[in-house]
Amino acid sequence: MKIEMRDIHKAFGTNQVLTGVDFDLEPGEVHALMGENGAGKSTLMNVLTGLHSLDQGIIVIDGKETKYENAKEAENNGIAFIHQELNVWPEMTVLENLFIGKELRTSFGLLKSKEMRAMAKRQFEELAVTIPLDAIAGSCSVGEQQMIEIAKALMTQAEVIIMDEPTAALTEREIEKLFEVIESLKSKGVSIVYISHRMEEIFAICDRITVMRDGKTVDTKPIPETSFDEVVTKMVGRELKDRFPERNVKLGEVILEVKGLTNTRSFQDISFSVREGEVVGVSGLMGAGRTEIMRSIFGIDPLEAGEIWLNGKKTTIKNPAQAVAQGIGFITEDRKDEGLVLDFSIRENMALPNLKSFSPKGVIDRKAEGDFVDMLIKRLSIKTESGETSAGNLSGGNQQKVVIAKWIGIGPKVLILDEPTRGVDVGAKREIYQLINELTERGVAIVMVSSELPEILGMSDRILVVHEGRISGELMKADATQEKIMTLATGGQ
């Protein structure tokens, strides 16, 4: 299938999101789409697949002008879309999710359960996915849910597959598998639109790249003819300084210390401490138990054993409210679940947890609140018309920035960050690192769970590696390397 999109325009109300995008896709190519958060990548693909109508421009598919009425029609015509925001139905089983809306039926309308199960099994095997088909989808980790979505798209036998940030939540191994599948699809003539903020991946598997900035195409080039630096410069419209800003903070007293935390299902005997101004990175493979540990410290999940000490005093945390009251903040990996209320405006999301500071006399000081929200929008370069936009209408990366802003405002003493820059573009990543540094200057103790090794290495004073629910090793910044972390993460010594 060959796709050409010419001079595409799209506005939401007065917000001009696409203002003349050209994009084309050849059969059997992997075409990267890159651009800062809010550049319009997801919107462009939503226009292609009929989720949004276009205001101007044309779409030509195999020589014929085409306009799909909805995503279903696009899918029926061979275009599958793996969305950036996961869409699994949490109450249904994995198998049911794989076949929602496209159940196989006999001529009598009966479900062909056996066939569906066999088909799902084959697809999972090809992707080396081991999730039980009868598991409840909502109980799967974010990474597993992502694999379910990928499998679901692959099963449609599409000629074009759009992957919007497919690897953000995947393990190294899952990513490798996905890349193998992409190679094999390519050899069958399937084309892929690959949207990602991870430069390394794009240079590893893509044939061409289109860079977008502010709703326009900046350039399209074969991958071998470009470089990291060129792409970044085109994306942000300027040269970017060093990836990880320098930090010079004197570490203070131990603020948070945990001893022997255990929740037999997910982790055992977890002990570590964090000092004022320190960034402790927590590395490990997806599913090693890192998120579960953090959830328990924050009081979301119960602990079976272990102690939590704050400022040298033993304490109990039974729920998130108690954690927050004692100065602990938590930026979750799943922004849709716990981080963000999509129906609320940016202002409400940011200001809600901070209401006390805007209402010293019991009355909300709207001016202070507005200034605070505007400051954070500006600081994190959140792409929006105003603070009144509802969070659900922001681009994926910009949603993540709102979550971070919300917690920064609270002024926690300990801030736990779980995959803080997932889906965030290079420029904004640096802003977030800079913010983390500023927090440490104010004495905040940071625990940062991240699956991006460069981020762990670039930002941590000390690195804990978690393997199968236990801390398998601890490395100081000075002698940490990618290899050492990987060895510990996979159970080696």
Ligand X SMILES: Nc1ncnc2c1ncn2[C@@H]1O[C@H](COP(=O)(O)OP(=O)(O)OP(=O)(O)O)[C@@H](O)[C@H]1O
Site for ligand X contains 397 (CB under 6 A): yes
Site size with ligand X, rule: CB under 6 A = 21
DSSP string, 418-487: ESTTTT--HHHHHHHHHHHHHHHHTT-EEEEE-S-HHHHHHH-SEEEEEETTEEEEEEEGGG--HHHHHH
When the beta carbons of 326 and 399 are compared against ligand X, the nearer one is 399
Contact window for Mg ion (CB under 5 A) among 19-27, 83-91, 247-255, 385-393: 83-91
When the beta carbons of 198 and 247 are compared against ligand X, the nearer one is 198
Contact window for Mg ion (CB under 5 A) among 38-46, 95-103, 299-307, 342-350: 38-46
d(CA 124, CA 115): 14
When the beta carbons of 384 and 440 are compared against ligand X, the nearer one is 384
d(CA 469, CA 463): 16
Site for ligand X contains 15 (CB under 6 A): yes
Site for ligand X contains 339 (CB under 6 A): no
Closest-approach residue to ligand X (CB): 397
The two three-digit tokens of residue 115, written as one number: 């066939």
Sheet holding 279-284, edge to edge: 328-331, 414-418, 445-449, 279-284, 462-467, 470-476
Site for ligand X contains 395 (CB under 6 A): yes
Closest-approach residue to Mg ion (CB): 42
Task: Say how far residue 291 (Cα) sits from the centre of its chain.
Answer: 14
Site for ligand X contains 202 (CB under 6 A): no
CB atoms within 10 A of CB 230: 14
Site for Mg ion contains 215 (CB under 5 A): no
d(CA 127, CA 148): 10
Per-residue contact flags (x/-) with ligand X for residues 36 to 65, judged by CB under 6 A: -xxxxxxx----------------------
Using CB under 6 A as the binding rule, the residues of this chain from 22 to 41 that contact ligand X are: 35, 37-41
Question: What type of residue is 415?
Answer: L
Site for ligand X contains 217 (CB under 6 A): no
Parallel/antiparallel/unpaired status of strands 254-263 and 15-25: unpaired
* DSSP class of 75: H
The two three-digit tokens of residue 149, written as one number: 């979505």
Per-residue contact flags (x/-) with ligand X for residues 84 to 103, judged by CB under 6 A: x-------------------
* DSSP class of 457: H
Binding site for ligand X (CB under 6 A): 12, 15, 17, 35, 37-43, 84, 383-384, 393-398, 425
- Interface residues with Mg ion (CB under 5 A)? 42, 84, 395-396
